[in-house]
Amino acid sequence: MTDSESDALRSAIDSSKGRHITFPQAFGYGIGDVFGGGQLTLITTYLSLFWTRFCGMDIATSQSVIGMSALVSAVAALLFGVLDDNLYRYDVGRRFGRRRFLLMLTSPLLLFGVFLWIPGLPLAAYAAAYVLWVVLAQMFATSYSALPGEMTTDFTGRTKLSTVRLFVSTASTTVIPLAGSAVLSVTGEDRPVGYMVFTIATVVAFSLAVFVCWRRTWEMTPEAAGFGAYARGEVRDGHIGLAGWARRMVKVLHEYATTLRVKEFRKHLAIYLMVQVSMDVFGQTFVFFVVFDWGSTAAFASLLLGCAAVSLPLMPLFGMGMTKLGPRRMYAINFAGCLSGVAGLLLVWVLAGRLPGPVWTVVAVAASLWFFAFKSLCGYLPWAVFPYMADVDQVVTRRYRSATFSAIQASFRQLFSGLATILVGVVLGVVGFDATRSVQSPTARIGVGVVLLGWFGVSMVLCWLISAHLRIDKKTDGMVLSEIDRLQSGGRKSAVDKETRRTIEKLTGMPYDQVWLNGGR
């Protein structure tokens, strides 16, 4: 990067505060989720199938390699979170940026994912390629999720970024299986060439999407992010020894622990984890539910999963709702809709075999369309709310640590998802469910239904109760940002107005006197 390019980048970054986000800029950011949203669909739909059919693995080995991803992702999230947030302390971060530097690295390295889809390689090669893929996915997610809060402080602009991102993600997860099905219908499913052409082309598309995202985004200056001293070239000791690394490890763990001091983030994290784990459980059991409880086919279940596309034209309405109604009211609408959708799926179960086939099919499709519309909103809202957590934290610590928040959130998500997967397996085993049987016992069918509908329903009720106490919205976030600007400009803490003090105390969960301290670093 030349000096003129660096100056141009810094000028663009400096102008980001309050910057109006246009649709092309939002799309430049959102296109990154072609990879972020699509890679998991590609892996879960095709990888185990490809490895077992064409790479000489048995299902146990394949699932063991893939199953380790939860642990690897959880650890990688913690490593990348603090690394990303603190890159401004070092020359490489001040030269290339802390968020965009990781995006720049991710784009070419993703091409190593091609090795996942080449038959005849040793098991160690597949395992190494998959571990690298998981690590890159986490490195991307950590830096990518932090960008909306960096690109603009405007509530509407951030909502636009999140809306376009979720639109692209949903489109990616819908198109990938449809495109794969089309390719395999032409080339045949009994030869690897069709899988290879489709999956390798998709990996290349992922790399290009991240490249475009890197080129079309920007981030805060070191000074705006609270690293002014480091941006001026603070000298750091290069050799710290074993004791020094131990101190750094303690400091890193402390850095993550401090995120949980923020009251509003604890509420957000609880909602996010329950929503994500519920969707994981739903994904693991929905096909079984349709086949064994509804008495239908796997093909019909796949068709119903395609109903998620109904949310694509609704994305602009989601964004408008966030801006006009705020997170708390949108969450109430969301969880009420999800609960009525669960009731609809339950009704379809009750009516299975009692209605004429065509009538029952219409009811099943209608219930699924309703459910998946609100399920997509479930996936949208936590990510739309997330950028404002770092604002609340900044008024406490003086630093903008969105990657640290993204990392602790991702780590908990992977950990709880892994535990939920194990628990679902245990529960289904206890009730006697066996996927190899064409017919299940009544107890097993009830067990599948309770896991799917019960877990989702209870989670939505708990999330609704927690979301009713959220305080972050366009007004309160604006007050936090105005207070940060005032304090950064040298304003005295004692001069804070009463409404701002009260708002910050509700959001942070701590007395105003304990925020914006020098010890925040």
Taking only the tens place, the pLDDT of each residue in 22-63 is: 888 888 888 888 888 888 778 877 777 788 778 887 756 776
| pLDDT at residue number 226 | 66
Q: Are the C-beta atoms of 265 and 385 separated by less than 8 Å? A: no
Pick the residue with more confidence: 447 or 52?
447
- Mean pLDDT across 1-14: 44
475-500 pLDDT, tens per residue? 999 999 899 999 988 899 989 999 99
DSSP letter for each residue of 320-336: HHHHHH-HHHHHHHHHH
pLDDT of 344 higher than 90: yes
Q: Which tens digit of pLDDT belongs to each residue from 250-265?
A: 777 787 888 889 999 9
Using one digit for the tens of pLDDT, what is the confidence trace for 124-140?
Answer: 898 889 889 988 988 88
CATH number of 9-220: 1.20.1250.20
- Quote the distance between the C-alpha of residue 248 and its chain's center: 28
The answer, yes or no, to whether residue 267 has pLDDT greater than 80, is yes
Q: What's the predicted TM-score (pTM) here? A: 0.74
d(CA 58, CA 52): 6
**pLDDT score at 110:** 93
Give ranges for CATH 1.20.1250.20 in the chain: 9-220, 255-512
Contacts 24+ apart (CB under 8 A), 346-354: 346/449, 346/453, 348/294, 349/289, 349/293, 349/294, 349/449, 352/293, 352/294, 352/295, 352/296, 353/295
Q: Could you name the CATH architecture of 255-512?
A: Up-down Bundle (1.20)
Give Cβ neighbours of residue 258 (< 8 Å, ≥ 6 apart).
397
Give the amino acid at 140: F
Q: Tell me what pLDDT residue 327 has.
A: 92
The token pair at 68 is 């380790």
- Which pLDDT score is estimated for 63? 61
Checking phi first, is residue 516 left (phi over 0); if not, alpha (psi -120 to 50) or beta?
left
pLDDT of residue 176 exceeding 50: yes
Out of 238-242, 311-315, 353-357, 378-382, pick the least confident: 238-242
**For the chain, what is the mean pLDDT?**
82
Tokens encoding 508: 């942070």
* DSSP conformation class of 435: T
